[in-house]
Chain A
Amino acid sequence: MMDLKRFTAYALFLCFFLATGIVSAQDAAPAVDLTEGETLFKNNCAACHNKNMKDNLTGPALGGVQDRWADYPRKDLYSWVNNSQALINSGHPRAVELWNQWKPTVMSNFNFSDQQIENILAYVNDVYTRVPVVAVTPGGGTAAPQKPNNTLLFLGLFALLAVVALVLARIISNLDYLAKVQETGEAPPRKTLAQILTSKGIIAFVVFLVVVLGGYTTVNNAINLGRQQGYQPDQPIKFSHLTHAGTHKIDCNYCHDGARRSKHSVIPAANTCMNCHKAIKVGSTYGTAEISKIYASIGFDPNTDKYIEHYDAMSQADIEKIFKKWFSDNYIKEKNTLDAEGELLVKNQWEDLVASLTNPGKDKVQGPIEWIRIHNLPDHVYFNHSQHVTVGKLTCQTCHGTVEAMEVVQQFSPLSMGWCVNCHRKTEVQFANNPYYEAYKKYHEEMASGKRDKVTVEEIGGVECQKCHY
């Protein structure tokens, strides 16, 4: 009996300790407003600064920023955030140091209050110092508000119950033993541990456990079969969405012009690229290496700025001449001479170009650039971009994440049916200003009378089978 009490007390204590541990971790809020900090960061800073606060992006990683500015008055940091160029011009040593490190990238000016900056800094610090408990979604994008993590609590409870079960089993065994002793007057042999572990009950229990856990894991993994959230393949061209959509703020719809009018968002044709790259012939990151692949695909001679006639019939050797000349000319422009290093570079660039534009199913460099498709829906799913973009007025980022911050694009959303359906349950239909929805008279009446404030996609049939499967 004493055993049981001691055990129970200990287990309860353990449980309490774990629970409070979790709660206190959640409640450890400083005087600043972390939520506001998070919102401000995501709206203003996240385009350039990495959300994990540890890695550089367009701008430096922000983790530990307060320590780095600890030698200067707090006010300097405020003015740095709000107007970095002014501080650089005033010759602030830390500011100049940063400028030399990061120029020519200029940080945007803001108009934050001191308190707001404090909030952001607190959020930065919070993220930076937070122990990663949950695996961050591979997209790394705007993570959904996380539920309090109950895993530890459950583990604690499980341990507690297991202990209780063990104790009870022990007690029963002891009582049994005592009873037998009383009955027969002599002590029967006690079961060894090995005997206990090989008893029918234990074996049955272990088998049961293996089947249940195995089944659970199998089902869960089977559900995930074919899903590829976080899929981030290497593309034939190291196209940077960060440069195009992030830095240069090119509208997604400019290149993906199908999204607003078709079921497909459409991978842009090479002639769309040429709209700009007829002029921009050398890239900021990879120089001539990547942009030349567009030229080799479409048949544009960057040396003469002219489209090549009968390009499709041209031999690879002739194409090689054109592009090797282009690569070496550019190398010479920079280094004045084509040294051995330059020759190697030219050779590598050409080989990379050929490798990128050909594959087992395509043997010439001419013709379409065969991108690796990242977002794949099963054939029995009908999805229409224009319904979501034009009618539903969703931003691309809702499903694709902050593509403008991705150097290499990856699949942000799981693209699972549950994910679609959940969104359809929550999302409000854009009733305003679209006369199509006048057919839903009752909803309009209810909204006018204040009986309802919104209509969700589900309420107009958005989770019915034949909205997506036909």
Chain B
Amino acid sequence: MKNKNEVWIGVEQLNNDPVLNELSNQEFAGPEDGLQITEKTLELGSSRRDFLKFLGFSLGAATLAASCDIPVRRAIPYVIKPDTIVPGVATYYASSFVQGGDYCAVLVKTREGRPIKIEGNSLSTITKGATSARAQASVLSLYDTNRFPQAGTMEDGKFRKISWEDLDKAVTGALNPKDEIRILANTLMSPTGQQAIEEFQAKYPNTKVVMYDAVSSSAMLEANAQTLGTQSIPDYHFDKADVIVSFGADFLGTWISPIEYAAQYAVNRKVNPEHPKMSRHIQVESHLSMTGSNADNRVLIKPSEMGAAIATLYNELAALNGATSVSAPSLNDKAKAALKKAAADLNAAKGKALVVSGSNNIGEQVLVNAINALLDSYGQTIDFTRASMQRKGTDGAIQGLIREMGAGAINAVFVMGANPAFDLPNADAFKEAFAKVPMKVSFANIPDETTALCNFVAPAHHYLESWGDVEPKRGLYSLIQPTIAPLFKTRQAEESLLRWAGSPNLKLDSDQPYFEYLRWNWQQKMFPKQSRFATFQIFWDSTLHDGVFEVPSDAGAVSFQGDVADAASKVSKPSGSELEIAFFETVNQGAGQYAHNPWLQEMPDPVARTVWGNYLAIPIFWDGSNEWQAFKGLNKEEAKGKADIVEVDVNGSTQRVTCVRQFGQPEGGVALALGYGRQIVGQAGKNVGVNVYPWCSIDANGNTQYYATSVSVSDRVEVENDFACVQYHHTMGVKGTDPKTNEVINVDEKTVMTLGAGYQGGLTDRTIIYQANLKEVEELVEHIHEKREEAKELNEKTLYPFDKYTENLYSQGHHWGMHIDLNACTGCGACQVACVAENNVPVVGKKEVSRHHEMTWLRIDRYFYGDYENPNVVYQPMMCQHCDNAPCENVCPVAATNHSSEGLNQMTYNRCIGTRYCANNCPYKVRRFNWLDYTTADIFPANEYAINGEDLVFGSDNLTRMVLNPDVTVRSRGVIEKCSFCVQRIQEGKLTAKKEGRSLRDGDIKTACQTACPTGAITFGDLNNEEAELNKKLKEELNYRVLEEINTQASVNYSARINNRDEAIS
């Protein structure tokens, strides 16, 4: 079923459900109890006498407060002030965010010696100054109240503090040089860490490193070892590919190096008159992933059909290239036809084609390599010169360890950041075997399931307190340097190993022994690799300043040598089961290692737009008569904030899961995210969602498979009343049918409509998204032009034409504006977390989100378009549009929101009295109201709100508050807040220019969302600066403003979304 021009937000809209009419019409909608106060707060059923009592109390309180002396505040200077620190001026340090195989070169912004914000390091050739949501949120985990305060012992999961000396004595006392020792870790990328492990191995020769990754690339590594002669992840060049086929690899969101790949991918996706070419991206997958949602075509398969799909594509290409075909398992006809066409597209782009696969089946990965070989991809879109080190773990290694431990052959295990007691399909087997190891030490710095089973905890620093180095890709090095003194009595894991090994190279009398060790190692290994610097000190200083160091790579070309017939026999076989379930990694939670981070928990999943949990994605289909129905008719009341809880049975084990309806799911396929349901993780992440690792399986080759075929889903067993999905919150321009008159109306502005047709606000045909196929760009340009002319005409009909009355406004000085390229936006959410970090946006928790009370200043709206059953998706970052004719400003009774001479829509918190008229009148729905005391800024604790049942409200302790940006006010209850265009950055940029006595240059001021974006989708600048990049973008023909026809004169512009969908494929 096709649909050409319309975009839709969800099922209700397609069904013309009156629920949506009601919901969108209410500006402060929520579930039925939406506007009531929780049980925790005061019962306000008060009489006149109560009122008088309250009055008397507040008067008394005010008098007391007033009569008190002014509190004595102290100004505490340094004793010896470091030269580099000027209080009040931010200092940036180059470092690297590393979490297992996740890597990002970063600049850490510190104020008065505490890290408060992560920025990208543009000197890195890998991440190129971009960041991810995970990197942005990592600064919050530094101030996690759940961190271990010092070394300790663990008995029955109870932590007891001991001194480091005692720990060292206990560990070294228990170790024997002949002991079988295992260092258990996720991917390790540190060359100096490797050196430390080697020194440890010198003392304890039977030490081995066991590396595995919870979301594994094991099969790919093995396939590459077998067929390409190198056990590594290749260097992909998505920017050089004209046709990309991805078999379930979420390379824009979670797969291996998403920041790098997203930037490459965007190069050929940004279409404009200067760059009219666009790559074609075909995603073959069994659930709607973030990458899939950005694809031009999606081929829907069930999870067990992956092998069939890959083999089919191989056969099609083999036929085109005269190679021998293999026996392919049967595949659904639709996918088969689509892959035939995809093969033709790929073959036509030989040398500029790229096929990737997220599969963890060795046969499938070998076939993918064979496909790439047929397409001449090696040396073109794939090479190994800069092979990636970001995934090294193999599933065989951890399974081998479980066997060894089970046999009682292991004397000691050091757990270095891995959490196998949670994230293995056979975690129970691991726990059982692990219990047989006499000496178990964990280096984790916050509690986790595996650490709870250890004897000792030797907590390592957070990466922002650490020294270290990383080699994320061959020959590309990156340094980690501390940006704050350790907050707790922690010690680097590598230093612990070196101490226990009694390394002569570790200078124990030094202040920072591991720093000296790192320097020493770099002097031995890295310094000789370069010729630019004559002395080590200069080399070190320069490298530490830049954060990155590159040496040429000598790796040669690879060629494919493999037995495809054998590989084809190993691929997954379609199960024939009616219902299958896919498990996938999400952008915000990863494999579960980010569960303790409330910023990531509250960042909506890009695709499902749900927060605080994993939800079973169920397919939607046309019921044949007149309604769009979800699987089993579930989740009819999503728009009301209610979802159905079902019992999911996988291989005989049952869990209760909340559903979310999802377009673009295969008919017999449901999906559920990995990494949720952590039990030991600190209060914020505890019991959020369900743990699906036990439902994963291990295939014949020992690799973890992230799907299950023997699934049954029950009917509704319970109703989730706090369904936290932001998709139906803050909608704009939703069309619906008036049940009384049967006319099409704009349900968001129903009130305006009833006042009389003809008011611009009530127009049903509203400008929100423009999208078209690449072939129809010319038509789209014409269409946009026409619509903009129409809007202009409408806007000039007013009594006060904007241009006439504002002739002299913004004619000098600055006039700030923004441009967002919908073609570049992948919906990854880095901007959203960056905004939270920069602007002290509070976390409100699941219950509050379900009541439409999320506080994010920047939301990423998701719209579907195209084929109803397998739609395309467009993401639209939406924040305050800083309208030059702003509807919100006119209605504020106290002028708390007004316009600046630089075109900013200003919000003054201390003047706001909380009438919320402005939010009511904002057509973009971007204003947020502090319903409760989310920041614990009030004096009355009754208004505070615990996000996940904590005793201490999140963010109320002094440790967590260290992450706050001191230049941005912390808002209290009862005021409206919204995007300020990062006014603190604007003011800082202007001041720097003034102090340096120069004009403000384009690019001096960048908003937090802009710097975080991996694809460069956001451009901020001065509209009065003719040279500005922004003004160039505004002249492009695909440029438009949202809701332009209602004369808001928005300062934010968007570029229309273009897709390169091949209608012949699906």
Binding site for B on A (CB under 8 A): 221-222, 225-226, 228, 231, 233, 257-258, 261-264, 266-272, 297-298, 359, 367-373, 376, 378-380, 382, 384, 386-387, 390-391, 433-443, 460-461, 464-467, 469-470
List residues of chain A with CB within 8 A of the CB of B538: none
Choose one: B87, B909, B994; the contact of A264 (CB below 8 Å). B87
Give the distance in Å from the alpha carbon of A386 to the alpha carbon of B994 in the complex.
10
Give the distance in Å from the alpha carbon of A376 to the alpha carbon of B970 in the complex.
17
Contact B995 A386 (CB under 8 A): yes
Contact A439 B814 (CB under 8 A): yes
**Contacts of B159-216 to chain A: CB distance below 8 A:** none
How far in angstroms is the closest Cβ of chain B from A294? 10
Contact B980 A228 (CB under 8 A): no
How far in angstroms is the closest Cβ of chain A from B1000? 7
List residues of chain A with CB within 8 A of the CB of B942: none
Instruction: Provide the main secondary structure of the chain A interface.
Output: loop
List residues of chain A with CB within 8 A of the CB of B980: 466, 470
Give the distance in Å from the alpha carbon of A262 to the alpha carbon of B968 in the complex.
16
Contact B999 A435 (CB under 8 A): yes
List residues of chain A with CB within 8 A of the CB of B89: 258, 261-263
Return the 10 tightest CB-CB contacts between A and B, nearest first. A262-B88, A269-B81, A269-B78, A263-B88, A264-B88, A373-B75, A461-B901, A466-B906, A267-B77, A465-B908
Give the distance in Å from the alpha carbon of A449 to the alpha carbon of B533 in the complex.
57
B80 at the interface (CB under 8 A from A): yes
Residue of B nearest to A271 (CB): B80
Contact A258 B77 (CB under 8 A): no
Give the distance in Å from the alpha carbon of A313 to the alpha carbon of B345 in the complex.
74
B52 at the interface (CB under 8 A from A): no
List residues of chain A with CB within 8 A of the CB of B999: 435-436, 438-439
Give the distance in Å from the alpha carbon of A371 to the alpha carbon of B74 in the complex.
6
List residues of chain B with CB within 8 A of the CB of A465: 898, 900, 906, 908, 911
Contact A222 B814 (CB under 8 A): no
List residues of chain A with CB within 8 A of the CB of B87: 258, 262, 264, 266
List residues of chain A with CB within 8 A of the CB of B987: 382, 384, 467, 470
How far in angstroms is the closest Cβ of chain A from B120? 24
Contact A372 B74 (CB under 8 A): yes
List residues of chain A with CB within 8 A of the CB of B70: 226, 228, 231
How far in angstroms is the closest Cβ of chain B from A226? 7
Give the distance in Å from the alpha carbon of A271 to the alpha carbon of B77 in the complex.
10
Contact B77 A434 (CB under 8 A): no
Residue of B nearest to A441 (CB): B812
**Contacts of B59-117 to chain A: CB distance below 8 A:** 66, 70, 72-81, 86-89
Other A-B contacts than A222-B66, A271-B81, A464-B898, 20 sampled, CB-CB below 8 A, are: A261-B89, A263-B88, A266-B86, A266-B88, A268-B77, A270-B77, A270-B78, A270-B80, A369-B77, A370-B76, A372-B73, A380-B969, A435-B999, A439-B814, A439-B999, A439-B1000, A442-B811, A466-B900, A466-B906, A470-B980
List residues of chain B with CB within 8 A of the CB of A266: 77, 86-88
List residues of chain B with CB within 8 A of the CB of A369: 76-77
Binary A-proximity of B789-821 (CB < 8 A = 1, otherwise 0): 000000000000000000000011110000000
Binary A-proximity of B983-1006 (CB < 8 A = 1, otherwise 0): 110010011011101111000000
Give the distance in Å from the alpha carbon of A433 to the alpha carbon of B994 in the complex.
11
7 A–B contacts from the bound complex (CB under 8 Å): A225-B66, A269-B77, A367-B79, A371-B74, A384-B987, A461-B900, A466-B907
Instruction: Provide the main secondary structure of the chain B interface.
Output: loop
Contact A368 B78 (CB under 8 A): yes
Give the distance in Å from the alpha carbon of A438 to the alpha carbon of B999 in the complex.
7
Question: Given contacts A270-B77, A380-B910, A461-B902, is CB(A435)–CB(B72) below 8 Å?
Answer: no
Give the distance in Å from the alpha carbon of A443 to the alpha carbon of B970 in the complex.
37
Choose one: B904, B983, B994; the contact of A391 (CB below 8 Å). B994
How far in angstroms is the closest Cβ of chain B from A124? 36
Determine the interface band of chain B, counting residues with CB < 8 A from chain A.
35 or more
B782 at the interface (CB under 8 A from A): no
Choose one: B76, B909, B910, B995; the contact of A368 (CB below 8 Å). B76
Question: Given contacts A384-B991, A465-B908, is CB(A371)–CB(B77) below 8 Å?
Answer: yes
How far in angstroms is the closest Cβ of chain A from B78? 4
B231 at the interface (CB under 8 A from A): no
Residue of B nearest to A260 (CB): B995
How far in angstroms is the closest Cβ of chain B from A187? 49
Contact A443 B77 (CB under 8 A): no
Contact B997 A436 (CB under 8 A): yes
List residues of chain B with CB within 8 A of the CB of A267: 75-77
Contact A469 B908 (CB under 8 A): yes
**Which of A271, A297, A298 is packed against the most chain B CB atoms within 10 Å?**
A271
Give the distance in Å from the alpha carbon of A4 to the alpha carbon of B717 in the complex.
93
Contact A464 B997 (CB under 8 A): no
B967 at the interface (CB under 8 A from A): yes
Give the distance in Å from the alpha carbon of A380 to the alpha carbon of B975 in the complex.
13
Contact B79 A271 (CB under 8 A): yes
How far in angstroms is the closest Cβ of chain A from B843? 20
Give the distance in Å from the alpha carbon of A387 to the alpha carbon of B80 in the complex.
26
Give the distance in Å from the alpha carbon of A465 to the alpha carbon of B983 in the complex.
11
List residues of chain A with CB within 8 A of the CB of B1000: 436, 439
How far in angstroms is the closest Cβ of chain A from B678? 35
Contact A464 B993 (CB under 8 A): no
**Which of B73, B75, B80, B999 is packed against the most chain A CB atoms within 10 Å?**
B75
Contact B74 A261 (CB under 8 A): no
List residues of chain A with CB within 8 A of the CB of B811: 442
Give the distance in Å from the alpha carbon of A233 to the alpha carbon of B811 in the complex.
49
Give the distance in Å from the alpha carbon of A106 to the alpha carbon of B551 in the complex.
70
Residue of B nearest to A221 (CB): B66
List residues of chain A with CB within 8 A of the CB of B969: 379-380, 469-470
List residues of chain B with CB within 8 A of the CB of A372: 72-75
List residues of chain A with CB within 8 A of the CB of B983: 466, 470
List residues of chain B with CB within 8 A of the CB of A228: 70
Give the distance in Å from the alpha carbon of A262 to the alpha carbon of B998 in the complex.
18
List residues of chain A with CB within 8 A of the CB of B908: 465-466, 469
Contact B76 A371 (CB under 8 A): yes
Residue of A nearest to B911 (CB): A465
Residue of A nearest to B983 (CB): A470
Give the distance in Å from the alpha carbon of A452 to the alpha carbon of B980 in the complex.
33
List residues of chain A with CB within 8 A of the CB of B81: 269, 271-272
Give the distance in Å from the alpha carbon of A436 to the alpha carbon of B904 in the complex.
20
List residues of chain B with CB within 8 A of the CB of A368: 76-79
List residues of chain B with CB within 8 A of the CB of A436: 990, 993-994, 997-1000
List residues of chain A with CB within 8 A of the CB of B385: none
Give the distance in Å from the alpha carbon of A469 to the alpha carbon of B984 in the complex.
9
Residue of B nearest to A443 (CB): B812
B1024 at the interface (CB under 8 A from A): yes
Give the distance in Å from the alpha carbon of A373 to the alpha carbon of B77 in the complex.
11
Give the distance in Å from the alpha carbon of A225 to the alpha carbon of B64 in the complex.
12
Give the distance in Å from the alpha carbon of A228 to the alpha carbon of B980 in the complex.
32
**Which of B904, B969, B994 is packed against the most chain A CB atoms within 10 Å?**
B994
**Contacts of B273-296 to chain A: CB distance below 8 A:** none
**Which of B74, B81, B998 is packed against the most chain A CB atoms within 10 Å?**
B74
Give the distance in Å from the alpha carbon of A262 to the alpha carbon of B89 in the complex.
6
Give the distance in Å from the alpha carbon of A443 to the alpha carbon of B814 in the complex.
13
How far in angstroms is the closest Cβ of chain A from B935? 11
Residue of A nearest to B900 (CB): A464
Contact B79 A391 (CB under 8 A): no
Residue of B nearest to A263 (CB): B88
Contact B994 A434 (CB under 8 A): yes
Give the distance in Å from the alpha carbon of A391 to the alpha carbon of B998 in the complex.
12
How far in angstroms is the closest Cβ of chain B from A314? 14
List residues of chain B with CB within 8 A of the CB of A467: 987
Contact B813 A387 (CB under 8 A): no
Question: Given contacts A262-B89, A387-B991, is CB(A269)–CB(B80) below 8 Å?
Answer: yes
How far in angstroms is the closest Cβ of chain B from A437? 8
**Contacts of B887-922 to chain A: CB distance below 8 A:** 898, 900-902, 904, 906-911
Contact A373 B74 (CB under 8 A): yes
List residues of chain B with CB within 8 A of the CB of A384: 88, 987, 991
Contact A373 B812 (CB under 8 A): no
